[in-house]
Structure 1
Amino acid sequence: MSAIAWIAVASLAAWLWLLLGQGFFWRTDVRLPPHEGPDPEDWPPVCVVVPARDEAAVLPGSLPSLLAQDYPGRAEVFLVDDGSRDGTGEVARALARRHGGLPLTVAASPGEPPAGWTGKLWAVRHGIGLARGRAPEYLLLTDADIAHGPDSLRRLVAAARAGGFDLVSQMARLRVESPWERLVVPAFVYFFAQLYPFRWIGRRGGRTAAAAGGCVLLRTEAAERARIPDAVRHAVIDDVALARAVKRSGGHLWLGLAERVDSVRPYPRLRDLWRMVSRSAYAQLRHQPLLLIGTVAGLAVVYLAPPAALVAGSAAGDAAAALAGGLAWLVMTATYVPMLRYYRQPLWLAPLLPCTALLYLLMTVDSAVQHHRGRGAAWKGRTYARPDIVGDEGEAVPGGG
């Protein structure tokens, strides 16, 4: 066989393994179970912690949904204004006066984060410190751009108690309205699930750990045992780092797709999406050039080779290359269909996944270039260089700051 045929066969073999051997990552049925049976007799107290930096534009679409939670127990919201310059705190207070609902405390973050801390986690630390004064059994860590259905908190707590989970996280449904969002956003969640299959995360004793930072219900006792957030204070990609810390300390995790938890943050232009992905892509590779090279090669073989082999093989009369490339592309397309259906997107986008993968490849390379230029992970006016002590980190989801 020709060299391109061998590459196409390797890609097909990789896709068959991904289809059957990677935790059925492509399925979208890992959701919070319907809340059945009697409610817990004693609903535990919960404190909601919201770090917010320059979020005045998105708070009207998210904060009222938190304040309107239909939760039978005691719950209150702590929003930490992380040095905002757009009146985030004032907007939050005005929304609370207008909409009422759960008690809201707006607190200012205690200055710029010290060396070794990201801004978001420094704000989370302050919020958790305030919340501990209320002795909550659970903490809901949620981002300022996340809107929750009215029963969101009730269902999270019910699932945590019924399953004995120390951490329950939902991958918020991201906004998909502009053409670039339609092309890039569903693939973002698809790639995340491929790296961290949701079914594996919920296994007791399993090694896979991940969370989605926009919506994390965390048992307070588990947070203290895992030293959250101090243990992950340097993590640019904080959600998976947090989940790994909880699992290492003996915690039981659950992560799935959300039904009524949505991000209201827009990413209308390719530049917006590019910045969101590239700010942390190289951190996912632990700032290692060899891992970058391996990732680029892997993306090329798995995602780019199938259509290239199909076209080149057809043009050159190489039946083996064309057949293997076409089959690999078909399997790839089929695995992407469930995610497009979850996002209510047209299925003709599925064969375009190689184009999206190429964009992610270029974003990852750009992330490495920016890091080696000394710009690190830049977000909302802050730049984070490589930490002196590199911890466990994983892929990011939008909304962090």
Structure 2
Amino acid sequence: MSALMWITVGSLAAWVWLLLGQGFFWRTDVRLPERADPGQWPAVAVVVPARDEAAVLPSSLPSLLAQDYPGRAEVFLVDDGSTDGTGALARSLAREHGGLPLTVDSPGEPGPGWTGKLWAVRHGMALARARTDAEYLLLTDADIAHAPDSLRELVAAARSADVDLVSQMARLRVASPWERLVIPAFVYFFAQLYPFRWVNRPGARTAAAAGGCVLLRREAAERAGVPDSIRQAVIDDVALARAVKRSGGRIWLGLADRVDSVRPYPGLGELWRMVSRSAYAQLRHQPLLLAGTVAGLAVLYLAPPVAVVAGAVAGAALPLALGAGAWAVMTGTYLPMLRYYRQPLRLAPLLPLTALLYLLMTVDSAVQHYRGRGAAWKGRTYARPETTP
């Protein structure tokens, strides 16, 4: 009980620090900065990498084609070796819905050392350079649905705030019981790792973006050498933001109001694969970082409920009180994210259970990596960067 008590003291102290000292990561009020009509609207090229996305395109692509944008805009959908008719469906949707001009093309198999998505983005950016004089690139995933004014609001925000990269974290689909348990926590953990306020501070080292919706100034992309400079990145959105910020660019990241992912994750298996495919890459494939992450998750999220149960069983008031205090702070920081996702607040005390799932997913990600099946997605498996030719 004494060891557990001291671990719980550390957990409570850590939660108080996270509450006050980690960029107020738990707040969900970081939305698009104030924006004004720029007067002259710059041209924009929308680049959509797509691999086997026929199931979601009917819910997402028409929203891009229907953008109410005052300037010139064109959509480039890059079919990354799909086997489900993604390219043909995209052309059919464009004929049916009209709207912005759509170009569908395919780059062939990725070159050595390239991830499939970044290879497709590279091809889309090259098409945009060849066919348009676009000042901005909107990089958006094939499962993202945009409100009609999304592009206009992004460009106005970029111009008004004078930033080179504006990224909105799309609101992920939350419908099934497993999605309710896992998805809001996914965004909560992301914000804990990359507090949005720190990301948006010009002098801060923290850099991140949400790959589903990134408006990028073309000049900043060229200055940062992207996507070539990040061609091996599995977590490409964070790598992109780091490259832009390192090259002197200003970036902004926040939560979206009307940019939504339509991809379903109805069961635990789909959610497990979504997290485990890149969790060990996030830890740079380092066993020591893995061990530290597992220990940190255990102390932060698992120790408080264990202390509450153990204290209640043993009749030890101090561990029970310390555990309850840490659990209460943890629960309180999770409530804003549940409100943002319009989920019942009674799910907040279950965050330790969700954290346990993420701990197991992270360990599984490392196991799959050492079995040669790490960072696998849609039929492709990516090696560690240093082993890639």
TM-score, with normalisation over the residues of structure 2?
A: 0.98
Q: Secondary structure at the match of 2:385?
A: coil
**1:61 aligned residue:** 59
Over 3 Å counting, the alpha-carbon distance change for 1:129 and 1:70 in structure 2 is same
1:327 is displaced (CA, Å) by 0.2
Amino acid in structure 1 at the alignment position of 2:323: G
Question: Which residue of the partner structure matches residue 127 of structure 1?
Answer: 124
1:216-231 aligned within 5 A: 216-231=214-229
Residue aligning to 1:152: 150
Residue identity opposite 2:45 in structure 1: C
1:193 matched to which residue of 2? 191
2:202 is aligned with what amino acid? R
Other-structure match for 2:115: 118
Equivalent runs, 1:216-295 vs 2, <5 Å: 216-295=214-293
Q: Which residue of 1 aligns with 2:31?
A: 31
Indicate how the Cα distance of structure 1 residues 243 and 389 shifts in structure 2: closer, same or farther if over 3 A, else same.
farther
Offset at 1:145? 0.2
Inter-partner Cα distance in structure 2 for 1:317 and 1:5 = 13
Letter in 1 for 2:6: W
Matches within 5 A, 1:389-400: none
Which amino acid in 2 is paired with 1:294?
G
Q: Distance in 2 between matches of 1:34 and 1:352?
A: 36
Unaligned 5+ residue runs, structure 1? 391-401
Shift of 1:33: 3.6
Residue type matched to 1:11 in 2?
A: S
TM value normalised by structure 1:
0.95
Could you tell me how far apart the structure 1 residues matched to 2:98 and 2:155 are? 22
Alpha-carbon offset, residue 315 of structure 1? 1.1
Deviations along 1:292-334, one digit per CA (max 9) or x if unpaired, are 0000000000000000001101111221111110000000000
Choose 130-139 or 267-276, whichever is displaced more: 130-139
- For 1:51, which of 44, 49, 52 is the aligned residue? 49
Q: Do the aligned partners of 2:34 and 2:157 also contact (CA within 8 Å) in 1?
A: no
Partner of 1:234, secondary structure, is coil
Deviation at 1:375, TM superposition (A): 1.1
User: Which deviations, in whole Å up to 9, do the C-alpha atoms of 1:111-139 show, x marking residues without a partner?
Assistant: 21122100000000000000012111000
The equivalent residue for 2:84 is 86
CA–CA distance in 1 between the matches of 2:196 and 2:146? 21
Task: Output the CA distance in 2 between the equivalents of 1:162 and 1:328.
Answer: 41
| Equivalent residue number for residue 8 of structure 1 | 8
Matches of 2:133 and 2:227 in 1, distance apart? 17
Distance (Å, rounded) in 1 between the aligned partners of 2:112 and 2:57 = 29
Return the alpha-carbon distance in structure 2 between the equivalents of residues 334 and 70 of structure 1.
39
SS at match of 2:350: helix
Give the deviation of 1:227 after TM superposition.
0.5
Tell me the CA shift for residue 34 of structure 1. Answer: 5.5
Name the CA distance, whole Å, in 1 between partners of 2:110 and 2:385. Answer: 14
Q: 2:342 aligns with which of 331, 341, 344?
A: 344
RMSD of aligned residue pairs (Cα, Å): 1.0
Deviations 1:132-173 (A, max 9, x none): 121110000000000000000000000000001000000000
SS at match of 1:388: helix
SS of the residue 1:344 aligns to: coil
Which position in structure 2 is the counterpart of 1:168? 166
Q: Distance in 2 between matches of 1:287 and 1:5?
A: 32
Letter in 1 for 2:64: L
Deviations 1:33-56 (A, max 9, x none): 464x5x211100000000000001
The separation in 2 between residues aligned to 1:299 and 1:275, in whole angstroms, is: 20
Amino acid at match of 2:244: V
Displaced runs of 4+ in structure 1, greater than 6 A?
A: none
What are the ranges of 5 or more consecutive residues in structure 2 without an aligned counterpart?
none
| Sequence identity (%) | 80
- Aligned to 1:250, what secondary structure does the other structure show? coil
Q: Which amino acid aligns with 1:3?
A: A
